Amino acid sequence: MHETDSQEDPTLTPTLPAAGRQTYAVFRNADFTRYLVARFIAALGMQMMVTALDWEIYKRTHSGLALGFVGLSLMVPMILCTLPAGHLADRRNRKSIILGSTLVLAGVSLGLTLTSAFIALDQNVALFQLFVYALLVVIGVARTFLWPASAAFVTALVSREELPRAITFNSGAFQLSCVLGPSAAGVLIWLTHGAWPVYAINVVAGLVCFALIAGIRHEHKIPPREPVSLKSLITGFQFVYKNKIILGTITLDMFAVLLGGAVTLLPIFAEEIIPLHNGAEGVGLGLLRAAIPIGAILCVFFLAHRPPLQKAGRTLLLCVAIFGAATILFGLANRLCLGGIFPAADGVWFWVAFGLMALCGVVDNVSVVVRATLVQLLTPDEKRGRVSAVNSLFIGTSNELGGFESGVTQHLFGPVLGNTMATGAILSVVVGGFGTLVVVLVVAWLWPEIRRYGKLS
């Protein structure tokens, strides 16, 4: 395990309570701190880019189905590349994989910048979609190789005792980027009436991340080479299948995100159902996109100042159930507003929706921390890359396939059945929330080990 090169300042020790020193001791690790800052900057730029891309696609196409194809474009390369990505993360230098993937993502952002800047907003819609979906496929490939290498890399930067808090703060940094990124993107769109400046900022963020990661001194110790075989490639799947706790938690999270996510349809909610106010185009979407990570950040600080969860399994199941219920209420509340039963007044329903999305963020972050901690703690280092790749496949494809599912069901419940775009979006969200509650019951029954799992350490 990596040992920090910096020593605690004895002059500060008396002023910090013991709990506080334990909570933030991981930040004395210079390599971990550098990694955390780098990933935050990269995630900030990516969140800005995703928000701008959703806005631009809907602005050009006015189609929920077009938004759904964003998820499909990102999902397909995950499925195709997960096995080689996991094998590479265990058999090659993980730091080099992270650096290479980061450069590719910066290059794709440059491509989006040029595409958005030189294709007029009201012209060549089909050409724009062709370029964008092609670039999204490249993003999917790069992220598929980045995620397992990054997840396995961070475990070598901290001690086993520090790992749960390191993962908590890592999640917190990502969620903070999800707060600031969409909001910043929304403001930039409002000021510039275009998305290309946001894409350009993501290019810079990628280059800064590359420079910071390159400065980390820790290097992954590569195990002896073994021939690439089907058995080696599927090791991660075999390990996950045999470990019922990991299999159950990943399955729970995958189907909850697949069915219960409303994020893909937020451009429709922000523009047609609960607009913040006239003249704030892009700002309302940015705020709604930021609501979930705001809730998650509050959860991060709560978890960081508490001992490890004592009944992690039951807490996980309860939080996913609350996620589904809050998603249902989000859809029903907006239906009341849209139907005129309780008309919106001065953006009141916008803030009700914001609060429900923030609640989803609070409980979702518990799921993220529990699952990520268990995957790393219960997996041997020589298999972490491949198991992390399986984890990324389950969660990543559920995010993207969930986006596609939301776009398709919105299209079916809306235009196909003769309803409005707004009604289709609301029905899609409510049905997905009920589906999440069913998944919680099924997982709790199939894998009783999760219900019985105790202390998260």
Angle (deg, nearest 10), helices 348-377 and 312-338: 160
Q: What are 415-443's pLDDT values in tens digits?
A: 888 777 778 888 888 888 898 899 899 98
Residue type at 11 in one-letter notation: T
For residue 93, what are its two tokens? 């230098």
pLDDT at 65: 77
Q: Which of 418, 437, 285, 274 is nearest to 345 (CA)?
A: 274
**pLDDT of 224 strictly over 80:** no
Q: Is the dihedral of CA 117, 119, 125, 129 positive or negative?
A: negative
pLDDT at 20: 46
**Can you say whether residue 93 is alpha, beta or left, with left for phi > 0 and alpha for psi between -120 and 50 degrees?**
beta
Its CATH class, for the domain covering 27-219+226-452, is mainly alpha
Q: Is the dihedral of CA 91, 96, 101, 104 positive or negative?
A: negative
Euclidean distance between CA atoms 424 and 414, whole angstroms: 4
For residue 107, what are its two tokens? 């290059």
High-pLDDT (> 70) share of the chain, %: 81
- pLDDT mean over 119-132: 81
Instruction: Kindly list the domain boundaries of the chain, sorted by start residue.
Output: 27-219+226-452
pTM (2 decimals)? Answer: 0.66
Residue 418 class from Cβ within 10 Å (0-12 exposed, 13-18 middle, 19+ buried)?
exposed
Euclidean distance between CA atoms 310 and 298, whole angstroms: 20
Instruction: Provide the pLDDT confidence category of residue 308 given band limits of 50, 70 and 90.
Output: low
Q: Give the number of C-alpha atoms closer than 13 A to the C-alpha of residue 327, restricted to the C-beta side.
A: 32
